[in-house]
Amino acid sequence: MVNDATLFIGLGNMGRPMAGNIARSGQRLFVYDADPQATEAVAKELHVHGPADLEAVAQDVGTVILMLPTSRIVETVLRGEDGLFRKLKRGTLIIDMGSSEPESTIALAGEATESDLVYVDAPVSGGVPKAISGELAIMVGGEPAAAERAKGLLDLMGKTVVRVGPAGTGHAAKALNNLLSATNLAAAAEILSVAKSVGINPAIMIEVINGSTSRSQASEFKYPKHILNATYDSGFSMDLMLKDMRIARSLIESSSLRAPIVLSAETLARHARETLDSPAPDHTELARYYEITNKTSFSGE
């Protein structure tokens, strides 16, 4: 067990169950969200303290975990007059577990070092179900000693914890993984549309794919659990998926390498977001976009 108390910031779809796994280990925990109702609800549920502001506990913790939507928000929480860089005690470990931009992470890790703090990026894969079961795949960027120090806590939330390399490489690996994952989903949706048009029931086609060489996480989990039943309720928003795809696009463009398939999936997903009528679509609605544009329903067969 990690002796120092941990402060968990960002109690949304992922943060809430992740904080729950830390609390259940007996680790001393504080939880905080910009939404005071979320802070209160999670603190009550986990029987831990939910401070009204970060300053109240900043000096009492040895580790801070961030599970926030974007790098801009991470920067706001850490930098500036009211930012945590100025409030935490020396030696505090900061772990950014959200899917942030590698460039921003590298800059923040440098600033943390200048303030005698330790910084690690440790984004996750596996979505809400693995966050609940504590079986996330965690990819770590940072100095080896810092990654080792983070491991005790990360093991409470993840099944695999892999150090990728220096600061920012965890976030780079996460964005590239999600670009591939979204490309798999788009490709499956295209094949399902065509299958439907030649008279194959989508549920049967998914069964065929899952017994064959083209199966993927999209065909094995997303279709059966969130698409064929038209619930579109994975808990991972399309906007967050698009953020990951955009980060991966900029990594590809800065490498000057050719990657036409995954880049066209990013363009397509942006178009899908503009086309879909829901105000905050789930990422699995990428399949619904094909149902709309190809006029083929995958569900209700």
Q: Compute the least distance from the CB of residue 295 to ligand NAD, in Å.
A: 29
Catalytic residue among 89, 151, 159, 174: 174
User: Counting contacts by CB under 6 A, is residue 286 touching ligand NAD?
Assistant: no
Residue of 17, 20, 50, 98 that binds ligand NAD (CB under 6 A): 98
3-state SS, residue 116: coil
- Near ligand NAD by CB under 6 A: residue from 236, 289, 290, 298: 236
Q: Write phi, then psi, for 60 (nearest 5 degrees).
A: -100, 0
202-221 positions binding ligand NAD, by CB under 6 A: none
Report the site for ligand NAD in 17-76 (rule: CB under 6 A). Answer: 33-35, 38, 67-69, 73, 76
> Is 174 a residue of the active site?
yes
Nearer to ligand NAD, 9 or 94 (CB): 9
Q: Does 99 bind ligand NAD (CB under 6 A)?
A: yes
Spatial neighbors of 236 by CB under 8 A, at least 6 apart, are 13, 127, 128, 282, 283
Query: Is there binding between residue 77 and ligand NAD (CB under 6 A)?
Result: yes
Task: Tell me whether residue 175 or residue 195 sits nearer to ligand NAD (CB atom).
Answer: 175
Number of residues located near ligand NAD, criterion CB under 6 A: 25
**Residue, CB closest to ligand NAD:** 12
Q: Which is nearer to ligand NAD, 46 or 205 (CB)?
A: 46
Tell the smallest beta-carbon distance from residue 164 to ligand NAD (Å): 15
| CA pair distance 159, 145, nearest whole angstrom | 20
How many distinct helices (H) and strands (E) make up the chain?
Answer: 14, 8
By rule CB under 6 A, what string of x and - marks binding of each residue 157-196 to ligand NAD? ----------------------------------------
Closest CA to 244 of 175, 196, 151: 175
C-alpha to C-alpha distances, 227 to 200, 206, 218, 267, 291, nearest whole angstrom = 16, 11, 10, 22, 11
First-last CA distance in the chain? 50
Shortest distance, position 132 Cβ to ligand NAD, whole Å: 11
Helix residue ranges, H only, 71-168: 71-78, 84-87, 102-114, 127-133, 144-157
- Give one word for 19, left, alpha or beta, with left for phi > 0 and alpha for psi -120 to 50: alpha
Report the alpha-carbon distance of residue 270 to residue 248 in Å, rounded: 14
Alpha-carbon distance of 31 to 208, in angstroms, equals: 45
Contact present, 168 and 102 (Cβ < 8 Å): yes
Phi, psi of 212 (to 5 degrees): -125, -170
The SS3 of residue 117 is coil
Please pick, from the candidates 2, 7, 8, 14, the single residue that binds ligand NAD as defined by CB under 6 A. 14
The mark string for 118-147 relative to ligand NAD (x by CB under 6 A, - otherwise) is ------x--xx-------------------
Give the residue with the Cβ less far from ligand NAD, 73 or 191: 73
- Both tokens of 11, joined, read 């109690």
Q: How far is the CB of 199 from ligand NAD (least distance, A)?
A: 34
Residues in the site for ligand NAD, rule: CB under 6 A? 9-15, 33-35, 38, 67-69, 73, 76-77, 98-99, 124, 127-128, 235-236, 240
Q: Which residues are catalytic?
A: 174
